[in-house]
Amino acid sequence: MNRIERHGHGGEAKLRYLDGDFQVVVPGGFVRCAVTGQEIALDELKYWSVARQEAYSDAAASLAREMEAKAG
C-alpha cells in the first residue's frame, strides 16, 4: 500500500495542532513545512507549533522559526 492509499487522499491536509497531537480538519496525505515548504507526510509529522498553528519538517526548521519569532 502506498502513502496515498494509506491516507485515502493525496492532497494537502489542513490540521489543528494541539499539545502532543493534532486533529485533521481537511483530510489529505501531507502538510507543508512553514519554513521550507517541504511536504511532510502525516505519518512522519513530529514537529509543530500550537501557538503558530504550523508544521515543521524537522527540529532545525522548528528552531529556525522560533529564533525568527523571538527576533521579530
pLDDT value at residue 3: 43
pLDDT value at residue 9: 65
Mean pLDDT of the chain: 90
Domain boundaries, the chain: 3-71
pLDDT value at residue 72: 75
Strand partners, 35: none
Distance CA 70, CA 72 (A): 6
Backbone phi and psi for residue 71, each to the nearest 5 degrees, phi listed first: -75, -25
Q: Is the pLDDT of residue 51 over 90?
A: yes
User: The whole model's pTM is what?
Assistant: 0.83
